[in-house]
């Protein structure tokens, strides 16, 4: 055995660096046969690595959101004088963030947008299916701004406004709390607004069957009627395969219904193919009630799902679609 002051390479048979490190670690900790424990630890790391990956990858979206927030603070700091004299102070920042998110969508998901011509030139209410994360909507918003020079506001759940550091991001992008009066006013001013009637409940508790979970919500339909604007259905293919939730666990659903906070774990972040499809607008009809318009919108969204999504969703299939050529317009 090598003495404390001898080199690991001393003697007629030099020791490998790994063997030397194991020996030194054993001497330092006083644990005999430490190499057996290390081998077991390496085995556990190998077994658990895929699990760690699928749990940590969704964190990339969080990093991108906070990167966006940091860039907005830097932008504001560098343009403080301009803010006092310009009505479009944040235009450059919006373009910058649109480029960031569109780049991420292109690289990680091969993101495509189809049917943008169905979005009217004037105001309109986009109604979309909510995936486990809002990433597909952010990709859509970025692509729309880059290609069409149009900006789309979105109605978000109340908890989003309580996220630390998010205030500047929400203010810059005009994210709305969702009171009917606020939405109607914005639409009458010519804005384009997006809303997912299923909200957080649909995000957390829908699954690979792509079930629409709206409950009795029909406020969005009344908003469209009061503002006299069309409703445009929107769906993103494979959005459930990119990130999934553990919403099937009953105790988690019961806990959400009690505290109304999205504490359901998510996993995935897989680079699946994402394609957003914009359906044909449902025009304003003064003779249509909110209940009837809700039913029409749900049917239109369900038709988009059935047309563009294979049910049940499959992660492997969604990954393989990255290698297919661009989907032809139907």
pLDDT tens, residue by residue, 135-189: 999 999 999 999 999 999 999 998 899 889 999 999 999 899 878 999 999 999 9
Contact (Cβ atoms closer than 8 angstroms) between residue 236 and residue 129: yes
In terms of Cα–Cα distance, which of 202, 308, 311, 267 is closest to 60? 267
Using the predicted structure, report yes or no on whether residue 328 has a pLDDT greater than 50.
Answer: no
The answer for 210, left when phi > 0, alpha when psi is -120 to 50, beta otherwise, is left
Token pair of 221, please?
A: 């339909």
Domain ranges of the chain: 45-77+91-322
Q: Note the pTM of the prediction, 2 decimals.
A: 0.81
d(CA 165, CA 305): 35
Using the predicted structure, report yes or no on whether residue 241 has a pLDDT greater than 60.
Answer: yes
Question: Higher confidence at residue 317 or residue 37?
Answer: 317
In terms of Cα–Cα distance, which of 179, 160, 138, 170 is closest to 262? 160
| pLDDT value of position 89 | 80
| pLDDT value of position 33 | 63
Prior bond of 207 cis (ω within 30°): no
Q: What is the CA radius of gyration of the chain?
A: 26
Question: Higher confidence at residue 72 or residue 31?
Answer: 72
Provide the total of helices (H) and of strands (E) in the chain, helices listed first: 14, 8
- Spacing of C-alpha 236 from chain mean position: 11
φ, ψ for residue 325 (rounded to 5)? -70, 165
| pLDDT value of position 178 | 78
| pLDDT value of position 4 | 44
| pLDDT value of position 59 | 80
Q: Tell me if residue 173 is catalytic.
A: no
The CA-based angle 279-188-83, given to 5 degrees, is 105
d(CA 292, CA 218): 9
What is the chain's length? 330
Using the predicted structure, report yes or no on whether residue 14 has a pLDDT greater than 60.
Answer: no
| pLDDT value of position 86 | 55
| pLDDT value of position 16 | 60
Q: Report DSSP state, residue 30.
A: T
Name the pLDDT band for 291 (thresholds 50, 70, 90).
Answer: very high
The CA-based angle 139-142-144, given to 5 degrees, is 105
pLDDT average, residue stretch 193-219: 95
Using the predicted structure, report yes or no on whether residue 7 has a pLDDT greater than 50.
Answer: no
Model confidence over 36-92: pLDDT tens digits?
655 656 656 555 555 555 566 778 888 899 999 999 988 888 877 565 445 578 888
Helix residue spans in 111-249 (DSSP H): 135-148, 167-172, 180-188, 199-205, 219-227, 239-242
Using the predicted structure, report yes or no on whether residue 10 has a pLDDT greater than 60.
Answer: no
Please enumerate in sequence order all residues whose Cβ is within 8 A of that of 300, keeping only pairs 6 or more positions apart, or say none. 231, 233, 279, 280, 282
Q: How many angstroms separate the Cα of 213 from the Cα of each of 125, 202, 243?
A: 19, 5, 18
- Spacing of C-alpha 76 from chain mean position: 25
| pLDDT value of position 260 | 83
Domain range 45-77+91-322, CATH class? alpha beta
pLDDT average, residue stretch 210-231: 96
| pLDDT value of position 169 | 93
Mean pLDDT over all residues of the chain? 86
Residue tagged active-site, from 33, 73, 114, 130: 130
Using the predicted structure, report yes or no on whether residue 1 has a pLDDT greater than 60.
Answer: no
Q: Report DSSP state, residue 276.
A: E
């Amino acid at each position: 055995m090598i003495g404390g002051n001898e080199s690991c390479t001393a003697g007629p048979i030099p020791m490998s660096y790994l063997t030397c490190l194991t020996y030194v670690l054993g001497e330092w900790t006083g644990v005999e046969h430490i190499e057996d424990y290390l081998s077991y630890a390496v085995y556990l790391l190998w077994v658990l690595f895929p699990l760690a990956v699928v749990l940590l990858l969704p964190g990339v979206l969080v990093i991108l959101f906070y990167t966006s927030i940091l860039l907005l603070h830097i932008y504001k700091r560098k343009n403080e004088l301009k803010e006092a004299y310009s009505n479009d102070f944040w235009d450059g920042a919006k373009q910058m963030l649109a480029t960031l998110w569109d780049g991420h969508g292109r690289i990680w998901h091969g993101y495509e947008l189809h049917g943008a011509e169905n979005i009217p030139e004037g105001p309109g209410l986009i109604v979309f299916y909510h995936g486990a994360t809002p990433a597909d909507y952010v990709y859509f918003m970025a692509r729309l701004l880059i290609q069409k020079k149009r900006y789309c506001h979105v109605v978000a759940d109340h908890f989003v406004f309580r996220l630390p550091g998010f205030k500047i991001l929400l203010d810059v992008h005009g994210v709305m709390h969702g009171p009917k009066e606020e939405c109607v006013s914005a639409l009458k001013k010519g804005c384009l607004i997006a809303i997912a009637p299923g909200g957080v409940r649909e995000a957390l508790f829908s699954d690979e069957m792509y079930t629409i979970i709206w409950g009795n919500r029909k406020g969005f339909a009344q908003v469209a009627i009061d503002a006299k604007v069309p409703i445009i259905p929107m769906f993103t293919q494979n959005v459930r395969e990119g990130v999934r939730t553990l919403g099937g666990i009953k105790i988690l659903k019961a806990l959400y219904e009690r505290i109304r906070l999205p504490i359901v774990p998510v996993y995935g972040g897989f680079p699946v193919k994402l394609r957003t499809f914009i359906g044909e607008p449902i025009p304003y009809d003064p003779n249509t009630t909110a209940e009837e318009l809700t039913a029409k919108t749900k049917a239109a969204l369900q038709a988009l799902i059935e047309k563009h999504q294979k049910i049940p969703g499959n992660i492997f299939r969604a990954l393989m679609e990255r290698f297919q050529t661009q989907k032809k317009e139907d």
